[in-house]
Amino acid sequence: MYPVIQRLTVVSNPTRIFEVGTEIDGREVIEIKQVGFDDFSEFHVLDEKGLLIASVENAPVILDWKVIAEHDEEEQACKETLPSAI
């Protein structure tokens, strides 16, 4: 399981919100990723083709995270919780 950014809120006037699954100018937000370092924050908002919708840098932001399980982890968890039929 690993955390992914679900929503990025840019604290500005006006406030801008980017959320996975929403549309911006007809393009669906598929991924929000941090590309900066600890001392320099930069975030990319990407569409379904991996193209840049928006870039946010050096701005105060609020991040909402969601924990995602990888496919193999889900299968393993199911195998561990379900008793075998034999």
Residues in the chain: 86
Sheet (strand 52-57) strand order: 31-34, 42-46, 52-57
The ranges of the chain with pLDDT < 70 are 71-86
Residue with structure tokens 């909402």? 64
pLDDT confidence of residue 74 = 52
pLDDT confidence of residue 42 = 93
Q: Are strands 2-10 and 61-68 parallel, antiparallel or unpaired?
A: antiparallel
Q: Give the start-to-end residue ranges of the domains of the chain.
A: 2-81
Handedness of CA 19, 49, 46, 51 (dihedral sign): negative
d(CA 1, CA 69): 4
